[in-house]
Structure 1
Amino acid sequence: MNLEPALEAFFAEADELLTRMEESLLGLESAPDDSELINDIFRAAHTIKGTAGVFGFDDVVRFTHEVESVLDRVRDGEIAVTPDVIGLFLRNKDHIGALVRAVAEKTDIDDAQRADGETQLAELRVLLGKPAAVPAATGLVAADKPAVGASAPDMESGSGNWHLSLRFGTDVLRGGMDPLSFLRYLRTLGDIVHLTTVIEALPNWLKLDPESCYLGFEIDFRSDASKAEIEGVFEFVRDECVLHIVPPHAQVSEYISVIRALPEDVTMLGEMLVASGALTRAELERGLALQAGAASAAVEPTAEGEQPAAAVAPPPLGEILVETGAVSPGVVDAALTRQKQVKDAKAQEARSLRIDADKLDQLIELVGELVVASAGVQNVAQMLAQSQLTEASEVLSRLVEEVRDQALSLRMVQIGATFQRFQRVVRDVSRDLGKDIELQISGADTELDKTVVERIGDPLMHLVRNSMDHGIEPTEVRIAAGKSARAKVMLNAYHEAGSIVIDVADDGGGLNRAKILRKAIERGLVPEENQLSDREIDRLIFEPGFSTADAVSNLSGRGVGMDVVRRDIEALRGTVEIDTEPGKGTRIRIRLPLTLAIIDGFRVGIDKASFVLPVDMIVECVELAGATRDAARIRGYLDMRGEVLPLLWLRQVFDIHSDAPPRRENVVVVQFGQTKAGIVVDHLMGEHQTVIRPLGKLFSSLRGVSGSTILGSGEIALILDVAGLMKMAVSGTTVSQAELAGSAG
């Protein structure tokens, strides 16, 4: 049986559950009495343990079982929710994650992790009031609970074990479940004293279906686990099996009821119970005789017109509880409402479908090829100038655009999950630093491309840690400055001008520009005689090897981190800006494209070369001719309705020469952040769906260009990097013809 798909689903689900577990634990710090959060944590641990048990991941089961036991005591109010308990559970969550990763990677955890896990187990057992050491045979502590309910001596079974009558459904194998894995998992809760395999349902070998399950089991089981824990073993096949659980020292009548409820021959099942030691032969015979007598009495005739009492349908349980005064009507209504919410939530989950990321990437690639092919059809239609073909190509183009938008939306995910990861980071690092810091999150529902989300995590991690270490002052300094003792680190995301903006801000002391400049001069990054603006000084923190830390620590001082942040963000075609105010705090603004795959582009031309600008960055286009053109060339800017618009001649930037300069030019007004500029081009060639192709390592350092695309005609067009062009305009640099020829090739 191929269990790989089921295993992959388990690993993905475990990752989600552990994330949810961490979020709920962090929420408990501010709301320790929130029972819903405690239940969420318990359910996450219980689900991981149950699924791991099905697959036979004993290390995960053994550790998570102890965590679950402590969580159960927390749910019952027997263990108080304190910062130390939350800290232990967070460490438990990390260790469960390490165990699951080890299974996924088919490796083993290292000695340090294993020792830490044993230390955590000892701490959990102390909370449970149990010995720190555990017998190796079962991984559980010795039984310390009284036997489950005894009855009248003359009708009580002598067995002190649980008895399980288990019949798997015929489709259990088709569902990807292995019956033996559940028996292995059961053994983690105790010892299987006796097991009889029931094969009465096996058909003639000619009718045997190898994908069907015909097995049943009669199991005598010794354990101090509760009935709920034993039932939990079979949680994932509960709808695909028949399960009867008889507690230790149960009345004989309970065994007889189970015998009569099962499809096999009563005598045969009775013999199995006698052979396993669950019943003596005398108990079996007496129980069968008593139940037979009770059955005959139940069918005795009643008075004329009466119906047997058993035929009268009992009232609903809720009505009984209300009538007896056990609960109020409001409690019953609340319970019914909760049941409906759970049912609706499950129905909503059933509408979701987990998709492999590689398949999604392949879909985007195919959509990209479809966009290029559609552009080719449009070119042919325009050349042939046939009305029917033109109309058909326009319909095709519209449909391709809709397919593109829908395909890209599949890759759009909310950034909130990435932001939530930093709750734990802020909690742990603030304790290490001895500072009181809280994380405030806004814009968590902002969506952007999954690839961008995955690659922005590390840069954000550096920025958040840097804010806590360098930006936030010690508590005594904050109080002396009249600030609150509790500092804030803020993460915010929002859309702006076709980009996504992520702010990492703090209410700390701001950047110490004098110290930054002094350190930069000491390290030879800036000549001492240079006069730098505040903005230029701020950007020095992104220089390789730069650090203002006076001593090396676990968090900073080695001069790596901020330069990596800048590199990683620029690799995503993004930019990073700094806004700081001494004594008030610092805000680092990251601006990123929404997607790295397909964009709406606007095609422009210089001589015979084609370039593409992102439509989302374009404000308007104006003609530049005559006296206005001459004046603009002299001044370097354009008067746009009373607003000064700096101009950038694309021909000069890319050093493109032609024998016959154009008689008129056009200005494409673009906006990047809060800055506007005009890009002067020869021709405006209209909108163009643009499939972004990387330039490759050889041309990765090409300035002013972020990628390339294939036009419908088969030609190559370069995608312009607006932010890079503005930098080039400031520095006065150009791109040589050799560079352009190389990239086009």
Structure 2
Amino acid sequence: MADDMTTQIFREEAYDLLSELESSLLELEEIPDDEDVINRVFRALHTIKGSGAMFGFDDIASFTHRVETVFDMVRNGDLDVNRDLLSLALLSRDHIFKLLENGINDELEASGNTIIEGLEKIAAQDSPVVESESVEDLSDSESGQHDTPVEKTDIEFTGCFFKIKITPEGKSEVAAEDLTPLLTELSNIGEIKSEVIHSKETSGDSGNWWEIIIATESDQLTIEEIFFFTDVPIKVDVTQIEESEFESLNPDDLNQEQAEEAEIKEDDVTPDEKSDPSEPVKKIDESVQTIDDEDSDSHKIGDILVKRGVASPDDVNSALKEQRQKREKRKAHKQEASSSIRVAAEKLDYLVDLVGELVIVQAQISQVVSEEKNPVLTALSEELERLSDELRDSTLGIRMLPIGTTFSKFRRLVRDLSEELGKEIELETRGAETELDKTVIERLSDPLVHLLRNSIDHGIEIPAERKAAGKSEHGTITLSAEHSGGEVLITISDDGKGMSPDVIKAKAAEKGLISADEELSEKEIFNMIFLPGFSTAKSITSVSGRGVGMDVVKKAIDLLRGSIDIDSTKGQGTIITIRLPLTLAIIDGLQVRVEDGYYVIPLSLVEECVELTRQDIDEANGQQFINLRGEIVPYIRIREWFEIEGEAPDIEQIVITGVEGSRMGIVVDTVIGEHQTVIKSLGRVYRDVDGISGATIKGDGTLALILDVPKLVRSVISEIRASNW
């Protein structure tokens, strides 16, 4: 059971690392010389390799190690970043994902070998000598079958020395063999120069603890990541030390206080810098290193460098300030990581369900208390309502995720598809920090894929066409998100050729969807592309042309209780705007009544409420229209739509709604007021009823149906169009 749990933890972390790896590789394509991005790529690969070996995923560890070797050359400046290298690196990321999902098989092994051959070919072209271990050596060392350090080639060591202090957590007992896999992993990134075990008998502490000094070309974060996945109950402290300090002192002499004062590495000042006082200090470490002069007086090396003319005070102060900022960022990152936990989605869903039930019970209590008219009970009821609202908001906030988690994966889609179609397209994203319910984000992914593919294929022109039109050869697609009241607006815009209303209308008439002489607004014409089977593509390709996709988008957005709007200018581009509710669990609604039945209309769609009198009906000559301040607005009667028996009152109420740029009225007997609506799914009998999207439980325990306003609007528009036709 424990093994299954740790394996699952590895998988979840690996998926996160693969997502980070993909985004870093795509970012590296834009800024190939950025050392920070290169280090992020290397660290992601290294962590996947190390943790994969630790948890028994030897196939992943073996493959990732060979990819990591190539990026180690990039990190050391021996290999330049180019598009071919990044394409193979992205394929490597996909290969690791498949290994995680399916495990190794003959087909995957063959494709993995092809990827490695391509990477090694690129590496060989740039640098004829590539340091790497054989697959056999890798599998032995990373599986923990031997503890000897990896043999190094005879190259001048230009790395750093680190002291690693490992102590048991709390009163836990940790044996030396428990650390063997970790030491093996350490030996793979450097050479362990010293290993001191302090026993509880000699140290006076409650248990054994270890001090290890390692020489490595890796950075401190890489070392810390080795201990990230371990389930051994230990605390690890990694501190950089000087080579001179290592050579002359016993590790026991380097106490924690001295380590925290370490400021710069001795090898940071090159011979050239020492001979040329005008050359600034290029690398100054984040800690201030104290050394002893022959007269036992202690001085900071920063002061010594200034005294010797190697660096100016401004150089030293600037470097120290920069390193302090980096240290604060790392501390903040660690603090943030330690203050968050991973929770199963099922547990969150169950919590939201419980809060929903609590909201219903609270509404029932409020209704009973209002009938009793007891001031004490009324005060308690109001306090319960306040706490219930806060708990609801807090719980729904837990389910909120930044939409950037979805946006980031589309960079790869745009990159691969534009390359396939021979187009040059850049994806810009904005508002990635905008938060949305996790369920909405999950269901939104496929519609956004369809819309982006449509923009890439139909919207952006090929470079030659763009150049002829006086545009830049590079097209741009912008994907943005922002909050707007209780909704989130997601916009996909491009600077392509736009859509032609005449072409769309002609195609719709050709397919028999409308009559050729039918009068339609530009917005109504654009909405034709969401009809099933509609496509303006002249030929069927692997991307489009079958008329499948945009109707799927429409259905998916409707299921999310959202709306979609299109605005396009020929020759300039297209803007598609999606409006979505923040959450699918609890919404604010307007409660209405027809005869003895109660209904809820999502408040985000309600514009206003007006009266409908017999005079209004007579003036319309029996047609279902109302003159609303000079605008003709159609309406639909809920009584007629659901065939409810009984006589309508003399004065009815019309709830004016706005959907997809169209206004429509919903006629009811009475408007009751706002209602906090906990959405419940319908059973099989009512699931396919037109005009109903769900149900909720009122305070008195009775049921209220939630109206599917977008579907009602489309039904009315279709009927009007059919009658005019």
Trace 1:503-542 onto structure 2 (pairs within 5 A).
503-511=491-499, 526=513, 531=518, 533=520, 538-542=526-530
SS in 1 for 2:136: coil
Higher mean alpha-carbon deviation, 375-384 vs 664-673, is at: 664-673
Offset at residue 183 of structure 1 (A): 4.9
The partner residue of 1:314 within 288, 298, 305 is 298
Q: Structure 2 length as normaliser, TM-score?
A: 0.77
CA distance in 1, matches of 2:154, 2:532: 63
Higher mean alpha-carbon deviation, 174-183 vs 588-597, is at: 174-183
Trace 1:95-174 onto structure 2 (pairs within 5 A).
95-102=95-102, 110-123=108-121, 125-126=123-124, 127=126, 129-130=128-129, 135-139=134-138, 143-146=152-155, 169-171=167-169
The one-letter amino acid of 1:398's match is: R
- Provide Cα deviations, 1:633-664, integer angstroms capped at 9, x if missing partner: 85644444455444333222322220x43232
The partner residue of 2:318 within 314, 325, 330 is 330
Higher mean alpha-carbon deviation, 637-646 vs 234-243, is at: 234-243
Instruction: Indicate the residue corresponding to 1:70 in structure 2.
Output: 70
CA distance in 1, matches of 2:375, 2:533: 63
Instruction: Indicate the residue corresponding to 1:672 in structure 2.
Output: 659
Higher mean alpha-carbon deviation, 407-416 vs 507-516, is at: 507-516
Instruction: Indicate the residue corresponding to 1:715 in structure 2.
Output: 702
Instruction: Indicate the residue corresponding to 1:465 in structure 2.
Output: 453
Instruction: Indicate the residue corresponding to 1:657 in structure 2.
Output: 645
CA distance in 2, matches of 1:432, 1:176: 55
The partner residue of 2:417 within 426, 429, 436 is 429
- Provide Cα deviations, 1:323-359, integer angstroms capped at 9, x if missing partner: 4444423222222232223223333333333322221
Change in Cα spacing, 1:459 to 1:603, as seen in structure 2 (3 Å) is: same
SS in 1 for 2:29: helix
CA distance in 2, matches of 1:474, 1:256: 66
Change in Cα spacing, 1:260 to 1:131, as seen in structure 2 (3 Å) is: closer
Q: Which has the larger radius of gyration?
A: 1
Change in Cα spacing, 1:169 to 1:350, as seen in structure 2 (3 Å) is: closer
Is the contact between residue 509 and residue 516 of structure 2 (CA under 8 Å) also seen in structure 1? Answer: no
CA distance in 2, matches of 1:599, 1:233: 43
Change in Cα spacing, 1:635 to 1:34, as seen in structure 2 (3 Å) is: same
Change in Cα spacing, 1:83 to 1:703, as seen in structure 2 (3 Å) is: same
State the superposition RMSD in angstroms: 4.6
CA distance in 1, matches of 2:338, 2:661: 44
Instruction: Indicate the residue corresponding to 1:79 in structure 2.
Output: 79
The partner residue of 2:711 within 703, 719, 724 is 724
Offset at residue 228 of structure 1 (A): 6.7
- Provide Cα deviations, 1:556-575, integer angstroms capped at 9, x if missing partner: 23443233222322222233
Change in Cα spacing, 1:231 to 1:457, as seen in structure 2 (3 Å) is: closer
Change in Cα spacing, 1:320 to 1:225, as seen in structure 2 (3 Å) is: closer
Instruction: Indicate the residue corresponding to 2:573 in structure 1.
Output: 585
The partner residue of 1:411 within 382, 386, 399 is 399
Instruction: Indicate the residue corresponding to 1:563 in structure 2.
Output: 551
CA distance in 2, matches of 1:443, 1:75: 32
Instruction: Indicate the residue corresponding to 1:354 in structure 2.
Output: 342
The one-letter amino acid of 2:113's match is: A
Offset at residue 719 of structure 1 (A): 0.5
Instruction: Indicate the residue corresponding to 2:281 in structure 1.
Output: none
Is the contact between residue 85 and residue 119 of structure 2 (CA under 8 Å) also seen in structure 1? Answer: no
- Provide Cα deviations, 1:192-235, integer angstroms capped at 9, x if missing partner: 9xx999897699xxxxxxxx98698999x9xx975879967854
The partner residue of 1:602 within 590, 595, 612 is 590
Offset at residue 489 of structure 1 (A): 1.7
Change in Cα spacing, 1:572 to 1:233, as seen in structure 2 (3 Å) is: closer
Trace 1:46-445 onto structure 2 (pairs within 5 A).
46-102=46-102, 110-123=108-121, 125-126=123-124, 127=126, 129-130=128-129, 135-139=134-138, 143-146=152-155, 169-171=167-169, 178-183=178-183, 185=185, 235-236=227-228, 240=235, 257=250, 314-327=298-311, 328=315, 329-445=317-433
Offset at residue 718 of structure 1 (A): 0.5
- Provide Cα deviations, 1:354-405, integer angstroms capped at 9, x if missing partner: 3222211111010011011111112211333333223322221222112111
The one-letter amino acid of 2:134's match is: P
- Provide Cα deviations, 1:37-68, integer angstroms capped at 9, x if missing partner: 22332333333333334334333333333433
CA distance in 2, matches of 1:184, 1:442: 44
CA distance in 2, matches of 1:190, 1:707: 61
SS in 2 for 1:240: strand
> Is it true that 1:481 corresponds to 2:490 in the alignment?
no
SS in 2 for 1:138: helix
SS in 2 for 1:129: coil
CA distance in 2, matches of 1:697, 1:57: 44
The one-letter amino acid of 1:240's match is: K
Offset at residue 146 of structure 1 (A): 4.3
The one-letter amino acid of 1:319's match is: D
Unaligned runs of 5+ in 1: 150-162, 204-211, 263-307, 734-745
SS in 2 for 1:699: coil
Offset at residue 609 of structure 1 (A): 0.4
The one-letter amino acid of 1:314's match is: S
The one-letter amino acid of 1:83's match is: R
Offset at residue 676 of structure 1 (A): 3.4
SS in 2 for 1:490: strand
Is the contact between residue 56 and residue 184 of structure 1 (CA under 8 Å) also seen in structure 2? Answer: no
SS in 2 for 1:110: helix
SS in 2 for 1:392: helix
Higher mean alpha-carbon deviation, 703-712 vs 337-346, is at: 337-346
Unaligned runs of 5+ in 2: 142-149, 256-291, 721-725
Is the contact between residue 186 and residue 233 of structure 1 (CA under 8 Å) also seen in structure 2? Answer: no
- Provide Cα deviations, 1:403-439, integer angstroms capped at 9, x if missing partner: 1111111112221221222112111211111111111
Q: Structure 1 length as normaliser, TM-score?
A: 0.76
SS in 1 for 2:299: coil
SS in 2 for 1:169: strand
The one-letter amino acid of 1:689's match is: Q
The one-letter amino acid of 1:135's match is: S
CA distance in 1, matches of 2:60, 2:156: 28
SS in 2 for 1:484: coil
The one-letter amino acid of 2:303's match is: E
Instruction: Indicate the residue corresponding to 2:688 in structure 1.
Output: 701
Instruction: Indicate the residue corresponding to 2:271 in structure 1.
Output: none
SS in 2 for 1:348: helix
CA distance in 1, matches of 2:589, 2:329: 45
Offset at residue 677 of structure 1 (A): 3.3
> Is it true that 1:692 corresponds to 2:684 in the alignment?
no
Give aligned-pair identity as a percent.
Answer: 38
CA distance in 1, matches of 2:642, 2:236: 72
> Is it true that 1:27 corresponds to 2:22 in the alignment?
no
> Is it true that 1:648 corresponds to 2:636 in the alignment?
yes
The one-letter amino acid of 2:322's match is: A
Instruction: Indicate the residue corresponding to 1:621 in structure 2.
Output: 609
Change in Cα spacing, 1:666 to 1:176, as seen in structure 2 (3 Å) is: farther
SS in 2 for 1:648: strand
Higher mean alpha-carbon deviation, 553-562 vs 457-466, is at: 553-562
Change in Cα spacing, 1:461 to 1:174, as seen in structure 2 (3 Å) is: farther
CA distance in 2, matches of 1:488, 1:479: 14
Is the contact between residue 138 and residue 188 of structure 1 (CA under 8 Å) also seen in structure 2? Answer: no
Change in Cα spacing, 1:175 to 1:51, as seen in structure 2 (3 Å) is: farther
The partner residue of 1:499 within 483, 487, 497 is 487
Change in Cα spacing, 1:3 to 1:532, as seen in structure 2 (3 Å) is: farther
Is the contact between residue 246 and residue 254 of structure 1 (CA under 8 Å) also seen in structure 2? Answer: no
Higher mean alpha-carbon deviation, 381-390 vs 668-677, is at: 668-677
CA distance in 2, matches of 1:709, 1:108: 53
Change in Cα spacing, 1:121 to 1:201, as seen in structure 2 (3 Å) is: farther
